[in-house]
Amino acid sequence: MPSARLARDAAAFYAAQSAFSDPNGLGRLYADLPDDPAQLARVARDLKVHRLEGELFCHVISQDRLHNDAETRYLDGILRIIIERNDAPLTQRREVGDRFVGVCRDFALLYCSFLRHQRVGGRPCPNTTGGRRTGSRSPTRRRAARPRHPKSTSASLPGGSNASMDALPASTAI
C-alpha cells in the first residue's frame, strides 16, 4: 500500500499548535520531554487519570475535581492544574491524587500538544471508542482496519475504549 503524504500546507497545519493545544506561557515545561512518540504517550498518560478510573487505582476522585477539571478545555489550563498539584517535571509520573481528572479527549489534547511542540504533525484519530458506534448501526459493527503509521499510539481506557493519536509520517514534520 502506498504511503500517504500530506501536502506541505496540511502538514504545517497538523504540526502547529491550535488555540486548544498551545501551552502558551508554559512551553518551558516541555524542555525535558522525550522525542519518541510512544514515550510521549506514556508521559501524557501518567499526568492524567480518567474520570472512571478512581476505583481501579483504589482512589476516590472528589466531585469538585470531577467537575472542575472537566471544565478545563484548553491545554494551558490543564498544565496549570497539573503543576499546581505537583510542580515536578512533566516526565515524572504523578500519584493518582495529583493527576488531572479527564477523559480521552484530554489525553488526546495533551499528547497532540507534545507532538506539535516537536513539530511532528499530530491529530486525534476518528472513532476513539474502540470501534463502537451509536445510532442506527449495530454497536458491534467494526470499522475496517486502516493502516497505522509506525508512530501511532493509543492508551487503553476503562471499558475497553482507546484514545488514539497519529504521529503523521516523518515527511510531514516541519
Q: Give the total number of structural domains in the chain.
A: 1
Residue 120, pLDDT score: 87
Residue 80, pLDDT score: 97
Does 119 fall in a domain? yes
Q: Which domain holds residue 111?
A: 8-130+149-172
Residue 122, pLDDT score: 80
Does 144 fall in a domain? no
| HEC assignment per residue over the chain | CCCCCCCHHHHHHHHCCCCCCCCHHHHHHHCCCCCCHHHHHHHHHCCEEECCCCHHHCCCCCHHHHHHHHCCCCHHHHHHHHHHHCCCCCCCCCCHHHCEEECHHHHHHHHHHHHHHCCCCEEECCCCCCCCCCCCCCCCCCCCCCCCCCCCEEEECHHHCEEEEEECCHHHCC
Divide the 174 residues of the chain into consecutive groups of 10 and give the mean pLDDT of each group.
74 90 95 94 95 88 90 94 97 95 92 92 60 37 37 45 50 41
Does 94 fall in a domain? yes
Residue 93, pLDDT score: 96
Does 98 fall in a domain? yes
Residue 27, pLDDT score: 94
Residue 166, pLDDT score: 55
pTM of the predicted model as reported, rounded to 2 decimal places: 0.72
